[in-house]
Amino acid sequence: MLRQRILTAAVLLALLLPSLIVAPVWPFALLTLAAMAVAGWEWVRLNDGARYAVVFGIALGAACALALYAGWESAAPRAAWWLAFAIWVLGGTWLLRGGVAGWQRLPRELRWAVGLIALWTAWLGLANAKANGLNFILSIFFLVWAADICAYFGGRALGRKKLAPAISPGKSWEGVWSGMIGALLVAAGWLAIDASGSRGMESFYSIIANRFGYIGLALVVVFLVAMSVVGDLIESLVKRGAGAKDSSRLLPGHGGILDRVDGLLPVFPIALALASL
């Protein structure tokens, strides 16, 4: 299993890194477009729509392609960020309060629509973050990755109080706090590097700190980590409702696309919303 995970991760990095490094946005936009189309297929399958999953996956890919054609990969309407904000902050809170049973009571067509809109705005967020420069997009990626890694090790070492045992029994409040501390340390380190001028274009942290100060930045980082946890929990809720361990088996050792991007889905569009203020 470990060997599979490492090989799959190596292949994914080999695909991702060149598209991130090159200056044009379109290689990264096309790569993530394909990933979101697959994620849309997984989402509909998990929500009682196996017969229609391919159609909806293609439709999501087409919606991303239309946005790409319109030039939204680098200048999306701000309304898209606030739509994602409402879905994840208000809708996510409501869904987690209702639990698996509440999610299953919703009409499947509504579940499909909410998920596909969330995936579409996440793709817009990823593409626009790339358009803002390598420093900007990497600073957001590392926020989520640092939070995830620190939450994992902090939860294993200190975890006592369960976060949402009916949805994701392995997560603890101690893991969440550890993730927030890890992300704050990354933000502080990134600001120090930005101040040295060695990275060129502004990172997300520098933009937020310049507009809202260091306390404002700390609050934003903590909020984004919380939203990455919401994204993770929502995907766990959907999988539990479907009786599935993974969103699919497309990535050996890793599950599916949704399993790999669940924490990123809310963070990118919300980060763009906050950076646009």
Domain layout of the chain by residue ranges: 2-275
Three-class DSSP category at 123: helix
Residue 2 scores a pLDDT above 70 = no
> Which amino acid would we find at residue 72?
W
CA 183 to chain centre: 15
pLDDT value of residue 19: 92
Q: What would the pLDDT profile of 214-254 be if each residue is shown by its tens digit?
A: 999 999 999 999 999 999 999 999 999 999 988 988 877 77
Q: What is the mean pLDDT of the chain?
A: 92
Of 121, 142, 138, the closest CA to residue 129 belongs to: 138
Question: Alpha carbon of 258 to those of 12, 115, 144, 203: distances in Å?
Answer: 14, 11, 15, 26
The predicted model gives 92-119 an average pLDDT of 94
Average pLDDT rounded to a whole number, residues 61-74? 96
Q: Above 80 in pLDDT, residue 45? A: yes
How many other C-beta atoms are found inside a 10 Å radius of the C-beta of residue 94? Answer: 10
Tell me what pLDDT residue 201 has.
81
Asked if residue 180 lies in contact with residue 155, where contact means CB atoms within 8 angstroms, the answer is: no
What is residue 57's predicted lDDT score, i.e. its pLDDT? 96
| pLDDT reported for residue 9 | 72
What DSSP character marks residue 203?
A: P
Closest CA to 258 of 270, 245, 271, 268: 245
Contacts of residue 265, defined as CB under 8 A and 6 or more positions apart, other chains included, come to 88, 118, 119, 122, 231
pLDDT at 199 over 60: no
DSSP code of residue 247: S
pLDDT at 273: 96
**How is the chain split among helix, strand and coil, in percent rounded to 5?**
80, 5, 20
User: In one letter, which amino acid is 201?
Assistant: M
CB of 257 within 8 A of CB of 39?
A: yes
Q: pLDDT digits over 19-36, tens only? A: 989 989 999 999 999 999
- Asked if residue 197 has pLDDT above 80, the reply is no
Model confidence over 132-188: pLDDT tens digits? 999 999 999 999 999 999 999 999 898 889 998 889 888 999 999 999 999 999 999
Q: Which pLDDT does position 5 carry in this prediction?
A: 66
pLDDT tens profile 113-133: 999 999 999 999 999 999 999
**How many Å is the Cα radius of gyration of the chain?**
18
Half-sphere exposure of 124 (CA within 13 A, CB side): 30
With both helix axes pointing from N to C terminus, report the angle between 173-196 and 204-242 in degrees, rounded to the nearest 10: 150
Single pTM value for the model = 0.94
- Residues 223, 213 contacting (CB under 8 angstroms): no
Spell out the residues 6+ positions from residue 231 whose beta carbon is closer than 8 angstroms to its own.
Answer: 88, 92, 262, 263, 264, 265, 266, 267
